[in-house]
């Protein structure tokens, strides 16, 4: 396979990863702006189809990226790739933690929607939990950092 095809696969993976992540973030923010649990549950459920896009894009991007690096004899120990790998590790760990919290929030919204669909202080607190918001924001910053590193490849 030529380097152009590998680059195309790498870029397609990156677009899926970044696009799915942005879609999930937008839906999460939209859920925070709603008050009825049924609306919140609907928006948080809509995040679920983005998860395979993010995961698939990540796998495609990493796999084709390693193959491309091998073909181009790129040093995998270079600083920009080391920073990328560290960011990907952060995304994996923090994404699992934040995702678990978001799933619990969605499940609470679904229970409340099935019950009386009335506002809930607990649901509001979960949606606006400062730690969860900080974790989700750090994910977006890490993703933006990876894009910057991939485009400019400092020190390469």
pTM of the model: 0.91
Structural domain count, the chain: 1
Residue 46 pLDDT > 90, yes or no? yes
The mean pLDDT of the chain is: 95
Would you state the structure tokens that stand for residue 56, as one six-digit string? 């698939």
Compute the C-alpha angle 60/94/41, nearest 5°: 90
Dump pLDDT digits (tens) for 115-125: 999 989 999 99
Residue 156 pLDDT > 80, yes or no? no
Dump pLDDT digits (tens) for 5-41: 999 999 999 999 999 999 999 999 999 999 999 999 9
Structural domain including 115 reads 3-152
Percent of the chain beyond pLDDT 90?
A: 96
pLDDT band at 155 (very low <50, low <70, confident <90, very high): confident
Chain centroid to Cα 24, Å, comes to 7
Dump pLDDT digits (tens) for 77-116: 999 999 999 999 999 999 999 999 999 999 999 999 999 9
pLDDT band at 44 (very low <50, low <70, confident <90, very high): very high
Among residues 40, 38, 54, the alpha carbon closest in space to that of 136 is found at: 54
Among residues 122, 129, 102, 108, the alpha carbon closest in space to that of 48 is found at: 102
pLDDT of residue 62: 96
Among residues 13, 143, 139, the alpha carbon closest in space to that of 65 is found at: 13
What separation in angstroms does the CA of 7 have from each of 17, 25, 108?
15, 27, 42
């Amino acid at each position: 396979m030529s380097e152009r095809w590998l680059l195309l696969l790498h870029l397609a993976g990156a677009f899926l990863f970044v696009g799915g992540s942005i879609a999930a973030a937008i839906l999460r923010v939209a859920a925070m702006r709603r008050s009825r649990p049924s609306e919140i549950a609907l928006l948080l459920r809509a995040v679920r189809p983005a998860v395979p896009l993010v995961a698939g894009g990540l796998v495609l991007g990493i796999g084709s990226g390693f193959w491309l690096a091998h073909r181009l004899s790129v040093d995998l120990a270079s600083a920009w790739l080391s920073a990328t790998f560290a960011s990907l590790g952060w995304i994996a760990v923090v994404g699992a933690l934040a995702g678990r919290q978001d799933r619990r929030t969605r499940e609470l919204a679904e229970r409340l929607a099935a019950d009386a669909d009335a506002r809930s202080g607990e649901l509001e607190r979960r949606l606006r939990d400062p730690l969860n918001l900080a974790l989700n924001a750090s994910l977006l910053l890490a993703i933006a950092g990876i894009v910057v590193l991939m485009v400019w490849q400092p020190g390469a």
